[in-house]
Amino acid sequence: MKIKQFHIKQNIILLFFAFSIFNIALAQKRLIGVPLFDKHLNLGKCKLCNDRDSKSNEQIKSFTKNYPFQNVDVFSKKQIDSFLNYCDHEFQDSDYTVLTKAYILFAKADFMGSMVHFSDSDFLSKEYLEDKELPSANIAFKITNLYDTLLKMDLDNETKIFLRKTRMLTFQEIGLLSIFESISPMIFENKNTEEMYDLTYKQLADKYFQDESFTDYIPFQGYLGLNLGLSGNMGKYNLMGAEVSYEWVANRNPFNNEGRIDIIGLVYHKESGGNRNEFLFNFLNFRKIDFASVNLFQFGLQSGLTNEWNWCYRPQLGYAFGPFQIGYAYNFTFNAEARKNANGHLFTFNFSYPLIRIGKYQ
């Protein structure tokens, strides 16, 4: 008996140890987390943007006020060159403070990142001229060199961390990370740039991973998560309940999100003061695409209409704002006996968000 108890205790200890190791591994790989509190996605504060001394602040105001263009939507090659030359000229001003000079380089790097989307710019390499969303190595190297110059300036450590994060974010926004992955599909898993046949992109990838090692920053916010929320509908019957789903989300900020898609979901509703219950199952529920919400593949089981559970189909269309949804649905019950009491128009409302991330950021 004592030997059996010893083995049980031993197994419990081993299971606990294995679970602890597994949790540590998950934390290291960032497979599970709460995105709304994830510090790895925060750029932090920067003195180049605010908290400047009065002299630097006045100089930067003068610099931005005298831009060689104002309110321009589409930039020509001449306007691009004009701005870049203006930055270079102003940078030489000996009266400018270190913060002012840093701001000028920062503004130039930001502008060059946006040049990727200019259709009439000749800064795109011939290899990618057909796809204006992909950057050339030429632009990426120019941006990288500007940030390297910034990092060598006499700036506080917090600002330098911010600059490294911003360079990583710029690489993401101009499509450079997609190019890395197309050259070496497992590069973000093993961080091995030796497999990259293109030396130019290898050097840029090395720079990206160097910034990552300094900052532990994640420049993208899409993820797969466990969506939790409240749900209800009003019609012939008023029901309230809860929902859970496995969902892809484009942005961790609920009010800055253009895409949320439920891969599979479950909703439970109960009638207030009545005996009606329902379980709804859905898949490929486009919970938020811009401002629209479309749920065409939603089926369910309803009780309280007859002496047995009845199958139903409930397509739903609506409007989405942040974590909130309102919409219209029509309930169609397959059981002919229950249709008179169950079929009908419904006003729906939801409040939900994927609070728990499962898997890495994408």
pLDDT digits (tens, 9 = 90+) for 336-351: 887 887 888 999 999 9
Fold classification of 223-358 is: Porin (2.40.160)
State residue 107 phi and psi, 5-degree precision: -65, -40
Q: Which long-range contacts (CB under 8 A, 24 or more apart) does 7-12 make?
A: none
pLDDT at site 267 = 96
- Asked if residue 265 lies in contact with residue 241, where contact means CB atoms within 8 angstroms, the answer is no
Burial 251-264 (b: 16+ CB within 10 A, else e): bbebeebeebbbee
* Higher-pLDDT residue of 18, 87: 87
* Residue ranges matching CATH 2.40.160 in the chain: 223-358
Is pTM, for the whole model, over 0.85?
Answer: no
Structure tokens at 137: 């190595």
Q: How confident is the model at residue 21 (pLDDT cuts 50, 70, 90)?
A: very low
Rounded to an integer, the average pLDDT of 238-267 is: 92
> Lowest mean pLDDT: which of 99-108, 134-143, 173-182?
134-143
**Nearest alpha carbon to residue 34 among 252, 215, 256, 255:** 252
From 37-51, 83-97, 210-224, 256-270, the region with the lowest mean pLDDT: 37-51
Average pLDDT of 41-61?
86
pLDDT at 273 over 70: yes
6 pLDDT more than 60: no
Res 198 pLDDT > 60: yes
